Amino acid sequence: SRLVTASLAASDFTANSGTLLDNYNLPTSATGLGTIDPRALTAAIIGNPTKIYDGTTAATLASGNYQLTGFIAGEGASVTETAGSYDSKNAGPRTVTAMLDAADFTANSGTLLDNYILPTSASGAGTISQKLLTALIIGLPTKVYDATTGATLTSSNFALSGFVTGEGATVTETAGTYGSPDAGIRIITAALDGGDFSANGGTLLSNYVLPTRATGAGIIEKATLY
């Protein structure tokens, strides 16, 4: 509650019908109790907070990711809360939300936060980017010289790296190419596309940038002459 005071002049009075104000000593002030209600603020998350897919909804925020509106001119505050949550763990455009309490606000000089209703949450657009995977050919695939560069591969000849813990996939591509048709140690290359990957249980491949090729060492053995 606040004490309200008004200064009064003769021109501030309008007489009722049948009243002559000259018959009265008019007051020059009036006082009484009044209330100044706190002003409501709103908070939004801005700047498109982005992270690479990690299998969680956790978002890391900075003061620059918050926009507060509702302050009167010359006043303001910053938000110090660094933890937020994406609305899904999966890659793509997401909504980020942060829960706020009074301790998460730092007033600018000349600002009294008691004059405001502080927001209890902030939300806005964010992004979870796909995680990059890499592929290698392993197990030294071997064939006998046949004058071609064709290589036959199995799923066990591919090693994928970059998955978050507990996720994975196998590669179903069976065709590769040796770097030369001649006998010896050769580099094998396999071209890959989205249809060459089979996700393990609990793995969503759209959370990853899938490799388009795999390379690794192989052998073409000399043919035996009879």
pLDDT tens digit sequence for 150-190: 999 999 999 999 999 999 999 999 999 999 999 999 999 99
pLDDT tens digit sequence for 45-59: 999 999 999 999 999
pLDDT tens digit sequence for 7-42: 999 999 999 999 999 999 999 999 999 999 999 999
Report the alpha-carbon distance of residue 45 to residue 91 in Å, rounded.
19
- Residue 131: the pLDDT is 98
pLDDT band at 77 (very low <50, low <70, confident <90, very high): very high
List b or e across 77-90, with b for residues whose CB sees 16 or more CB atoms inside 10 angstroms: bebebeebbbeebe
The tokens of 42 are what? 């709103």
Amino acid in position 174: T
C-alpha torsion 97→99→102→103, nearest 10: -100
- Residue 177: the pLDDT is 98
How open is the CA angle 192-195-200, to the nearest 5 degrees? 100
The tokens of 167 are what? 């996720």
How much is the pTM?
A: 0.86
Report the alpha-carbon distance of residue 49 to residue 62 in Å, rounded.
9
Report the alpha-carbon distance of residue 165 to residue 55 in Å, rounded.
8
Region 77-98: mean pLDDT is 98
Region 87-101: mean pLDDT is 98
Region 116-132: mean pLDDT is 98
* Total count of residues recorded for the chain: 226
Distance of CA 222 to the CA centre of its chain: 55
pLDDT tens digit sequence for 160-170: 999 999 999 99
- Residue 226: the pLDDT is 87
User: At residue 2, does pLDDT exceed 90?
Assistant: no
User: At residue 1, does pLDDT exceed 90?
Assistant: no
